[in-house]
Amino acid sequence: MTKRLLPRVDPRFQQKVWIVFWAAAASSQNLAVENAARYKDWQDLIARLLTECGTSSQHLDGRLYELMSIIDGLGVRLTLTPSPKNRELARKTIADWVGRLDLPEDNN
């Protein structure tokens, strides 16, 4: 599942663009509206993926908030302090979080 959440372009470049965009959106109503729309699209994608993986509707909002917060925070951290160690810790953090999900057994 985590590979489906990763961008198809260089993630370091994409994260830098997002950070600049967030800064601009903080002082521009038009960009704030656009940011909210893009973030909603991303939220809907992650919600769909979590649902496909078996997250119950009862837990969806909490899991969605957790995962998006983790990805946002790790993205900023990796942009500001990129290193092989930090990249590995970020991968482990996401993998550990996904591993704690109550996913249904795969009977295939």
Rounded Cα distance between 93 and 58, Å, is 24
pLDDT in tens, 15-44: 888 889 899 999 999 999 999 999 999 999
4-17 pLDDT tens trace: 555 566 667 778 88
Is residue 49 predicted with pLDDT exceeding 70?
yes
Annotated domain spans of the chain? 12-99
Residue 77: other Cβ atoms inside 10 A: 15
Residue positions counted in the chain = 108
